[in-house]
Structure 1
Amino acid sequence: MDVAVTDAAALPDAERTARSVLAAVDRACSRFRPDSELARVERSGARQPVGAVLAALVDAALRIAEVTGGLVDPTVSVAALGYDRDIAALPADLPHRPVVRPAPGWGRVEWWPARRMLRVPPGVRLDLGATAKAWAADRAADTIAARYAVGALVSVAGDVAMAGPAPDGGWRVGVGDDHERPAPGDPVVTVGGGGLATSGTARRTWRRGGAVVHHIVDPRTGWSAGPVWRTVSVAAGRCVDANAASTAAVVRGADAPDWLTGARLPARLVAVDGTVRTVAGWPS
């Protein structure tokens, strides 16, 4: 996580706030923690009341699944591809090519938002990681800006949220083709606010039965999305929406530029051969 504010005196408090938000999200929905709130709900198999953070995360994930036509679906399973622990702990090559299936489908999740009650049916797992990271960036930036009366930028592993007044000239954000860390020579864009997210297949990769797989799963197949785009960066009003669009674009493949143009979402797409395409007002 990276945190920036327009008043240096507020930075220590802003950092503590951002850490607190990320810790709350981790406790609510981490799939690597057997004691997370979501893990307990899944184990019960019954309708359970959930806290405010998990409720907001489930709301966001189901809304994103709906607006992307199911292409960003929280019932996909990266664990089935072997990503069942921290990426740094995965073996270099997991044996055997797995048998994968399409995602069960977000419509099977039983959610009563007014009562904050959740049931995850047997055979379904919820992986909120695709939206939770961006949601955390939005929440942290909003909280910092409101609490300390500053402009705030929070980046969580490539998902960037901005709130409050931007610095003079706007926030300058590097856009890296490796998804998380821009390298010298990578483009820099100036952004006044909202969200900017990059999804890509160059990071969080591993081998399974000799095949290279990555963490963006096509819910229609249960396998890693096809090799069309190395990275897709999208700007939107909120980071969670930018993340949804960038992830959906990777899954959509070749028709992603037309889809993003139709949605009026500025985007930069880098093909697997390094060809760059920009759409909908992204600066060339």
Structure 2
Amino acid sequence: MNRVLVPRNLSPQSLPPHPDGGSLHALKGRSMGTTWSVLLVAPADDLRWLGAGVQQELDRVVAQMSHWEPDSDLCRYNAATAGSWHALPAEFMEVLEAAREYAQVSAGAFDPTIGPLVDAWGFGPVSQRDNPPSAAEIDAARARVGWQRLQLDDAGKRLLQPGGLQLDFSSIAKGYAVDQLARYLGRAGVDHWLVEVGGELRGQGCKPDGQPWWVELERVDESLTHTVLALHGLSVATSGDYRRYFEHEGRRYAHTLDPRSGWPVTHALASVTVLHPECMAADALATVLGVLEPDEAHDFATRHDFAAQFVLRSGGGFVERLTPAFKALASD
């Protein structure tokens, strides 16, 4: 069975013309511990400087927000002494402010200070593990987690390190990087493109032949409906417990951690896909929905009126649940 999703704002009349001499080109590279790719419509002569510009945008995000690079702004803040104030770049503060808003609206299901728990469970840069941490280790990590501890000065340009606070933007930075590339391409005069960073996607316009940027949504299992989306004016982010985990004594511990309990989630949700105009929002919201209980997550997405697809384990198989905004994209 196939499902086709088409944004209501996608029509030939709504799209800008393709540039003179423009054709379809592909750019790709590596960043943020993963791969990136850009499909775009532009003259061939523009490719070299466009590719260099894309890489520079990604390098800037890594230099500011990577929790793997010890010299990044984020890592230097995490290692700073208690009571010190830190002037941080505008992009960093933009992501931090957004992360704090998602933490507040989700009542802590999203928390940018989750770094100590990520490390305790072996899903961060410190060390990998194949057995769960002790209760004492979890309690010690939880004592250092809490988005309410984030303190900005009145101008919002400096951040206090109260001691032991450890930021982790891994649930929002890739989406932000995609948005930054979208903004860069817009400044460069490129109107038709498909951007992907580590599986997070955003598209605008169409191919030279008038066909949309068709993308296939991730499927946990082949039994589920095959869904394709015409990606114009939308971003796609998927969060799933099947991507990264370890097993110990017959139990699987997934990398999706609940900041409120300190433990990996154990509910029936296998994956969730969010569609949203901004990729940073899609990225963060996919994390929120992956942490919340399935019914609570569906109610959250419905209440905030964004498109989400939930895949849940049921009786040895999988079932899906869709929000009204997701169903509304299905073509008649």
- TM-score, normalized by length of structure 2? 0.74
The answer to whether structure 1 residue 22 and structure 2 residue 58 are counterparts is yes
Of residues 151, 165, 169, the one that matches 1:124 is 165
The structure 2 residue matched to 1:196, chosen from 232, 236, 257, is: 236
Structure 1 position 280 matched with structure 2 position 324: yes
Matched to 2:148, the amino acid is G
Q: Which sections of structure 1, spanning at least 5 residues, go unmatched? A: none
Q: Give the partner amino acid of 1:60.
A: A
Equivalent position to 1:37, from 62, 66, 73? 73
CA RMSD of aligned residues (A): 2.8
Question: What is the identity percentage for the equivalent residue pairs of Structure 1 and Structure 2?
Answer: 27
Letter in 1 for 2:243: R
Secondary structure of the equivalent of 1:5?
strand
- Distance in 1 (CA, whole Å) between partners of 2:286 and 2:39 is 23
The amino acid across from 1:139 in the alignment is Q
Counterparts of 1:99-178 in structure 2 under 5 Å? 99-101=137-139, 102=142, 104-112=145-153, 114-163=155-204, 165-167=205-207, 168-177=210-219
The corresponding residue for 1:246 is: 286
Pair 1:64-2:86 in alignment: no
One-letter code aligned to 1:121: P
Moved more, 15-24 or 237-246: 15-24
- Worse overlay, 131-140 or 33-42: 33-42
3-state SS of the aligned residue for 1:153? Answer: strand
Quote the offset at 1:206 in angstroms: 2.5
- Range 246-255 or range 141-150, more displaced: 141-150
Given candidates 237, 247, 257, the residue that maps to 2:298 is 257
| SS class of match (1:155) | strand
Distance 1:106 1:142 in 2: 28
Q: How many residues align?
A: 278
Larger Rg: 2
| Shift in alpha-carbon separation, 1:21–1:116, aligned structure 2, 3 A | same
Q: Aligned to 1:83, what secondary structure does the other structure show?
A: coil
Q: How far 1:186 sits from its partner (Å)?
A: 4.1
Alpha carbons 2:272, 2:290 under 8 Å: kept: yes
Partner Cα distance (1:212, 1:18) in 2: 38
| C-alpha displacement of 1:111 | 1.9
Question: What is the CA–CA distance in structure 2 between the aligned matches of 1:206 and 1:25, rounded to whole Å?
Answer: 29
TM-score (norm 1): 0.86
Deviations 1:69-114 (Å, cap 9, x if unpaired)? 321111113111012328xx846x2475563244721110112373
1:6 and 2:41 are equivalent in the alignment? yes
Cα distance, 1:162 vs. partner? 2.9
Seen in structure 2, the aligned counterparts of structure 1 residues 178 and 21 have a Cα distance that, compared at 3 Å, is farther
Q: Which moved more, 1:116-125 or 1:127-136?
A: 116-125
Q: Is the CA contact 1:162–1:194 (under 8 Å) kept in the aligned structure 2?
A: yes
What is the CA-CA distance between 1:35 and the residue it aligns to?
A: 1.2
Q: What amino acid does structure 1 have at the position aligned with 2:110? A: V
Q: Distance in 1 between matches of 2:107 and 2:70?
A: 30
Aligned to 1:223: 263
Residue segments in structure 2 that go unaligned for 5+ positions in a row: 1-35
Aligned residue for 1:196, secondary structure, equals: strand
Offset of residue 115 of structure 1:
4.8
